[in-house]
Structure 1
Amino acid sequence: MMVDAAPLFLNLLILLPLLISAIAEDTYYEYIFSSEEDDIPTTPPPPHTTLSARNQIPSVSTSQYNVLATADQKIVFQNKTTTETERWEWVTDLSGAWGGVIDAPITSLAYSPSSELLYIGTTEVLNFWDEKTSRFSRIGGNEGLPMRNITSLTVDDEKGFVYIGTTEGLILYRPSNKQHTWRYFAGPRYLPDDYIVGLSLNPTGSLDILHESQTTTLKPTKFTLSKKQAHFTNMLNERHRRTNLVSDFPNHDSDNDGLWTSLVLVSSLLEASLTSSAAASDSASYFLRGLTLLNEVPNSPGFFARSVCAPEEWGVTCGNQDAGGDWNVSTHPDYQNWFYKSDTSSDEAVGQIFGLLMSYKLSDVPEDKKTAKKLLTTIVNNLIDNDLNLIDPLTRQPTLWGRWGPEEVNNNRQWSDTRGLQSLQIVSFLAAAAAVTDPTHPDQQKYSTEFNRLAQEEGYLQNLLNTKITTPIDLNYSDDELTFLPYLTFFIALEMLEENKTGTTITIATAPITSSLERTFQFVRPEQSSLWNSIFLACTSILPSPLSDKDRNQIINDIIYNLETWPLSHIDYETRNENRIDFNWENSSSRFGETHSESSKKIAPFPANERRQFRWNASPYAITDGGSNSVETDPGAFLLPYWLSKYYGLF
């Protein structure tokens, strides 16, 4: 198959991210929980609220009636003036197969004066009665209700909220909000006990949640995304810095310190570029120093470590026996008694090239730009000199996953599922190296020659057309991250090459990479990922066939939704959603051979704050995910798509 030459539009390419039409940033609600053990309120709730508990007969007043549920399976409407019964309806009795307009035994009632709706909690669904029309309706799992076994109800008419207590958590129903209609709060991230006995709305607008032996208070708090960004930036600065690398808290090493650090590095660069913030610029320099350490400590130019450990950290925040990893002592004279973790993977290569390219492009510190250029070109030149393999300095063999040469990519059956991925990565690496190299430098010819070999002789541009593996048993969400970052790396490099008028043949990769990006995004779009979406829009902003306004705005809305529903807490609390009634199971097996482990990929997954996903290398569809309840993940997964969206004027 022949690959089209570079489109003519590239000759006129000028990327103006800040001039892209923007959608205004709005306020939204975050939900702040606090608990008090064994402190059950003894005073009754205010008259405008409903406190329901077990063994109570549910009753409530509407504008016309006193309504109560009776023991003989009826809902009764009494005249408020005469107290005479004017009407009653049957409640369904499943044991006798006797139907009624109410689905199941009534556990709670609450009335909304503004909408004139009577909400009826049952053991199966949420029913409601419209006082204007006297008609009953139902809301079950198909309509979005997350959980059955309702125990209590109360309405915040001012906000348009309906709070629903259940035996397995708290539900918030917002009938007038089409995107944030339902929220489900359960598990240790939110509640000390999922069994809710009663609810009480306070005059201040907060909600008291009554459990068996304690109460929890929920305070809906208005937020903006900029306020949330500030929250995560403070978190990053206070608890997630270790030896110029980003780290979980408590601090420790990981296998991919370079990749995770690159995300916060680029976030800081984008922030500094947009806001001229000295703090953001300093943060970018700090984390660039981390990528530099990964390159310098192994004392082998062109090789970079998974992680490094300073002498005072060894055995404390890194290098612990239970952490594993291939640790080696540095031979660099400036890093005596330092350790580095080897057998470096493609994850680290993707992070290094992405972070170094963006540092060269955006840094306002001349020395940082110089460092980034030197490291990036040294890495790529080292790969070219070693048949596109990352050579471990101790074994003198390619690392397990650091292989981009045709021998592995095209001819090794065990690499068949990464054929497109590795091809895309190495093409983006070559483009990045060319972009930071002077047009007249001899290395430009080196990069063009290597690119031409891969494109014309080895079929790499055809390989990358179908980068995304869609076979269900081989879906790897980590590979999505290792795909989208190279997409962005390539298009950023392309912009720089056009600005510099660099005459390189690498630009002919634009058409196949564009086709690959569009295909990949088609598969991941239902995830509503703020990072995939923002990268897609950043790249497609320079394509010859722009998206329709409707399509583009929907993608932006999904970015905002994902960022708004991203959890404020990054502690790895366990989440369990298997008992929910508002989803369908994915029928296909996962790559681990599991069935009934994920929700259907035909629709969007649960919002981020109802699942356990703090990085972009994990499945958003996972239904149940265990956690330690004690480790806080760094906030790079929020900060990068936030600042990328701001940089490209998406909101």
Structure 2
Amino acid sequence: MKYAPWTFVLLTIFFQACKQDGPAKLPTQPVHTDVAFVQDYSIKYGLAGEGITLKNVVSDRNGVIQVFSSAGLLKPFAGSFLYPGTLVVDRTYRPLADKKIKALEVCEHQFVYVDDKAVLSNAWAGELYMPHTLPTVTRFKGNREGFLLSDGQQLEYVKNGKSLWKEKHAENILDMAFDETTATFWLLTANSLQSFSTKDQTLKTVFLGKDLTSFALTGKGKEAVIGTREGYVVIDLTSATQKGERQTKLPWTEITCVRTIGDDLWFGTTRGAFKIRHDGKFDHYASKRWLPSDLVVDIAEGPEGSILILTDQGLGQIVLKKMTLHEKADYFERQVRARHIRHGFNATLGYMKDGSLATGSLEDSDNDGLWTSMYLGAEVFRYAVTKSDDALQNIREATEAMERLYSINDLKGFPSRSFERRGYKYDDKPWRRAGDPEWDWKSTTSSDEAIGHIFAFGVMAELLDDQDLKHRAVTLIDSLMQHVLDNNLYLVDWDGKPTVWGKWNPDYVNQRPFGVGDRKINSSNIIAMLQTAYHFTKKEAYKTKAFELLDKHGYFKNLMYPMSKIGMAAPDADDWSKMLSEAWNHSDDEMYFVGYWGLYRYAFNDTLKTRYKESIIDHWQAERPEKEGAWNIFTALTGTPDFDLNEAVWYLQEYPLDLIHWKVSNEHRRDIERIEPNFRKQTIRDVLPPDELPINRHNANRFDLDGGDDGASEYSAGDIWLLPYWMGRYLGVISAPVEK
């Protein structure tokens, strides 16, 4: 997700780096060289009991993690990505159980403790033992030579085993830091930042403020970044002056801790944690995708460059792993096969409890055919690039599921939405009894499924070298499109009536005003479908019908209508048109772009292909703010050099490995620029990264800031991620993995 370095090279340079693995490309199209980037994911550890207050977290040079709590020392047990572990009592050093441990720190990368009598450590052969006189000590800082301790108000400085200074402070000490370079201790209260010099053993007030909460030293100890309940301030410690204004344009302003880790500045808040990036923007970690809860208590550097984020409900370890897009694809291939295949369909794992994969069950969907079509297309592209036997077998199994959509009902050429074993109690009206007493099928199929089917069957027929699968794909294309022709450009259901959303007839399409999106999309989709059918069957009926629609019924004008003119229906329009145009329908985007494969790829002639390209790019221009990886890659099929490849790669790199539908909220964020309500439902100026948004398919609005189902489902990467990646590989705009 984060720190994503990517390189773009022209095709001529790319040929020198790796083998071409797609079709011929125009030399002006950019290519992403797939070198490793840093992918982050979270391993979470919850609390083993109730009533435990977590205070801070540290890690030593051995990669051991310890958490100090009201129940004593804790450590993470078990736990891996998507399978949470637990914070349990750390019994590693049994003698520590007899100590009344009051606080925990790391000194020279070793664990150091303070109890009611002394500062001590098990490192350095256990020789560090420095008595003090604050039995209720709560925090301390220092090095092996000396430590400053506080019980909240009293302070004591001990050095080489002796107490050299002790004084009562007027305010409660909230946070402490030690600057090794100047041998200076820094103390924070709710109203001030003070320094304590070990040379003259005096306290000095450096900054006065209000509602201060935590701080960290930066700039090699020359600056202090102080968190408050409303943002943060930067203090020049040399001049004791504030630098600039208080910073409040943040993911959240109620700051609970400030930490420097390497060159990065981290903030914990009551609504997650964030890091300031080098471009001034933020990497925001919130929701159960990343943390046990959003109330952050402490942040620390973890093993192998990970980040430890302690919350009131447990620990989130943000792991940073180098991987290529190809390696990410390998992970997602396994995710799909392990948990998301239902009768060959690409399905959602639902009915989960709090994100536990152990509790999930595969669920059917109205769009089983569509989600499976997109996954099927991804696997075809994968096979075309790699000739993988595994991909070919996945194609066979998905094809079997798709074929059964047509055979499980008695309607010639009519695809069911889904099917399931009889005996499961369905309340939905679309479910019908199949002839086979063991099965039911779902009716009311829509144009979403139809265009998805034609897309997948088309890429199968074009790109596979398995003659049996090619023939089966063409048969399915012909079967569906013959049904459409036989039924006057409608999908006709079991009751002899057109389905609500399966209508391409001019009487329906042209009844909508030009500015209503259904007129444009239905025209675009049906021409793409008829072109695909003609391309692979060579049946003149499909070509004849397509030109009749284009010329006689104005479908060419419909599909070329500028996207910028799509909007709400006029006040005098019919009610159905008004309903269709209340706001932009992002499911339409999915149908458009999936259909563009057949519209452009199988155009009847070069003149149409050139005009179709104009329409596709016009649509893409409207979609650019969403940075939708799939739409950018689909646009690349036209050969245009400008299709925002960098944003497509950003989408692929930033998409989280965790596809559980956690509840995510961003409405509270202060770092995003909101814009006026609009027809396209764009809510903010710049779209947030995918890993800071709810998990959604391509038919969702990427400007929706909130969403999720509290971890009740896990989505499949088959349609969400694998389709744009493998299409990009096939089109040659994403390279095979390259060693840097």
For this structure pair, what is the TM-score category when the shorter chain's length is used for normalisation? 0.7 to 0.9
Given candidates 316, 336, 339, the residue that maps to 1:236 is 336
SS at match of 1:489: helix
2:490 to 364, 372, 389: 389
- The alignment status of 1:189 with 2:289, answered yes or no, reads yes
8 Å Cα contact 1:419-1:467 kept in structure 2:
no
Instruction: Give the distance between the partners of 1:473 and 1:582, measured in 2 at CA.
Output: 29
Shift of 1:71: 4.3
Which of residues 339, 342, 345 in structure 1 aligns to 2:446? 345
Tell me the distance in 1 between the aligned counterparts of 2:298 and 2:174.
Answer: 13
More helix by share: 1
Aligned pairs for 1:61-100 within 5 A: 61-62=178-179, 63-64=181-182, 66=184, 68=186, 71=189, 73-76=191-194, 81-82=199-200, 88-91=206-209, 93=210
Match of 1:431 in 2: 531
Q: Of residues 537, 542, 557 in structure 2, which corresponds to 1:447?
A: 542
**1:474 counterpart SS class:** coil
Structure 2 counterpart of 1:174, which letter? Answer: R
Q: Which amino acid aligns with 1:373?
A: V
Matched, 1:314 2:409: no
The structural deviation recorded for 1:436 is 1.0
Tell me by how many angstroms 1:279 deviates. Answer: 0.3
What secondary structure does 1:612 align onto? coil
What's the secondary structure of 2:308's corresponding residue?
strand
- Quote the residue 1:499 is aligned against: none
User: 1:85 deviation in Å?
Assistant: 6.8
Between the aligned partners of 2:406 and 2:562, the Cα distance in structure 1 is: 29
Counterpart position of 1:477? 586
Deviations 1:552-577 (A, max 9, x none): 5xx11111111122121222111122
Q: CA offset at residue 398 of structure 1?
A: 1.2
Confirm whether residue 637 of structure 1 aligns to residue 732 of structure 2.
no
Counterpart of 1:273 in structure 2: which amino acid?
Answer: A
Say if 1:377 and 1:467 are closer, same or farther in 2 by CA, change over 3 A: farther
Aligned residue among 401, 405, 421 for 2:521: 421
Give the letter for the 2:106 counterpart.
P
Q: Find the counterpart in structure 1 of residue 46 from structure 2.
A: 36
Asked whether 1:58 is paired with 2:175, we answer yes
Task: Tell me how far 1:131 sits from its aligned partner.
Answer: 6.8
1:258 counterpart = 2:258: no
What's the counterpart of residue 230 of structure 2?
124
Residue in 2 aligned with 1:380? Answer: 481
Q: Would you say 1:576 and 2:665 are equivalent positions?
A: yes
Give per-residue Cα distances to partners, 1:173-208, cap 9 Å, x unaligned.
Answer: 232x67xx4222222222222112222324543333
1:538 aligns with 2:612: no
Structure 1 residues 139 and 65 mapped into 2: Cα distance closer, same or farther (>3 Å)? Answer: farther
What are the within-5 Å matches in structure 2 for residues 74-223 of structure 1?
Answer: 74-76=192-194, 81-82=199-200, 88-91=206-209, 93=210, 105-112=211-218, 118-129=224-235, 136-137=243-244, 140-142=247-249, 145-157=250-262, 160-175=263-278, 181-202=281-302, 204-212=304-312, 214-223=314-323
Closer, same or farther: CA 72–450 of 1 in aligned 2, 3 Å: closer
User: 2-side partners of 1:473 and 1:407: how far apart?
Assistant: 22
* SS of alignment partner, residue 24 of structure 1: strand
Q: Is the 8 A contact 2:286 2:294 kept in 1?
A: yes
Task: Tell whether the 8 Å contact from 2:660 to 2:714 is kept in structure 1 after alignment.
Answer: yes
What SS is found at the alignment partner of 1:357?
helix
From 542, 545, 556, give the equivalent of 1:461: 556
Letter in 2 for 1:488: W
2:470 paired with 1:363: no
Partner SS for 2:537: coil
**SS of corresponding position for 1:136:** strand
In 1, the alpha carbon distance for the partners of 2:253 and 2:422 equals: 51
Shift of the alpha carbon at 1:147? 0.8
CA distance in 2, matches of 1:308, 1:115: 65
Q: Which amino acid aligns with 2:648?
A: I
Contact 2:291 2:309 in 1 (8 A): no
Q: 1:563 aligns with which of 645, 648, 652?
A: 652
Identity of aligned residues (%): 25
- The normalised TM-score by structure 1 is 0.81
* C-alpha distance in structure 2 between counterparts of 1:364 and 1:271, whole Å: 13
C-alpha spacing 1:270/1:559, structure 2 compared with 1 (3 Å): same
- Match of residue 105 from structure 2: 45
Per-residue deviation, residues 30-58 of structure 1 (Å, max 9, x unmatched): 13232131574336232379999996433
Counterpart Cα distance in 2 of 1:473 and 1:66: 63
Deviations along 1:192-251, one digit per CA (max 9) or x if unpaired, are 221122223245433333333543333333333222211111111011111121111121
Q: Is the 2:683–2:704 Cα contact (8 Å) retained in structure 1? A: no
2:701 to 619, 627, 631: 619
State the distance in 1 between where 2:503 and 2:342 align: 29
**Distance of aligned partners of 1:210 and 1:455 in 2 relative to their CA distance in 1, 3 Å threshold:** closer
User: For 2:105, what is the secondary structure of its paired residue?
Assistant: coil
Which whole-Å deviations, capped at 9, do the CAs of 1:132-183 have from their partners, x for residues lacking one? 99772457454xx2111111122221xx3322111111112232x67xx422
**What is the count of residue pairs matched by the alignment?**
576
Question: Is there any run of 5+ residues in structure 2 with no aligned partner, and where?
Answer: 1-21, 55-66, 74-102, 110-138, 142-150, 153-171, 350-360, 569-580, 735-740
Q: Deviations over 1:237-277 (max 9, x none)?
A: 01111112111112121101110001110111111111111
What is the alpha-carbon distance in structure 1 between the residues aligned to residue 399 and residue 26 of structure 2? Answer: 25
Aligned-partner residue type, residue 38 of structure 2 = Y
CA displacement 1:363-404 (0-9 Å, x = unmatched):
232111001111102222221232211111x21221111100
Matches within 5 A, 1:640-651: 640-651=723-734
Q: Which secondary structure state, in structure 1, belongs to the residue aligned with residue 721 of structure 2?
A: helix
Between the aligned partners of 1:528 and 1:139, the Cα distance in structure 2 is 32
Task: Provide the rounded CA distance (Å) in 1 between the counterparts of 2:140 and 2:284.
Answer: 20
Tell me the residue number matched to 2:602: 493
Which of the pair has more CA radius of gyration? 2
Q: CA separation in 2, counterparts of 1:189 and 1:492?
A: 39
Tell me the amino acid that sits aligned with residue 617 of structure 1. Answer: N
Output the amino acid matched with 2:712. Answer: S
Name the structure with the higher strand share: 2
How many Å apart are 1:486 and its aligned residue?
Answer: 0.8
- State the secondary structure of the residue aligned to 1:126: strand
Query: Which stretch shifts more, 239-248 or 133-142?
Result: 133-142
Change (3 A) 1:425 1:572: same
In 2, the alpha carbon distance for the partners of 1:209 and 1:628 equals 21
Aligned partner of 1:277 in structure 2 is: 388
Q: For structure 1, which segment, 40-49 or 278-287, has the greater mean C-alpha deviation from structure 2 after superposition?
A: 40-49
- The aligned residue for residue 330 of structure 1 is 434
CA 1:647–1:131: 2 relative to 1, 3 Å? farther
CA 1:71 to 1:236, structure 2 compared with 1: closer, same or farther past 3 Å?
A: closer
Change (3 A) 1:523 1:129: farther
- Deviation (angstroms), 1:627: 0.5
* Structure 1: gaps spanning 5 or more residues: 1-13, 94-104, 495-503, 592-597
The structural deviation recorded for 1:21 is: 4.5
- Aligned partner letter, 1:489: G
Q: Specify whether residues 272 and 141 from structure 1 end up closer, same or farther in structure 2 by C-alpha distance, changes over 3 A only.
A: farther
The separation in 2 between residues aligned to 1:73 and 1:558, in whole angstroms, is: 45
Point out the more displaced range, 267-276 or 18-27. Answer: 18-27
d(CA) in 2 for partners of 1:341, 1:235: 27
Q: Does 1:523 align with 2:626?
A: no
Deviation track 1:290-326 (CA, whole Å, cap 9, x = no partner) reads: 21111221232321111122xxx3344xxx424x241
Cα gap change, 1:411/1:421 in structure 2, threshold over 3 Å: closer, same or farther? same
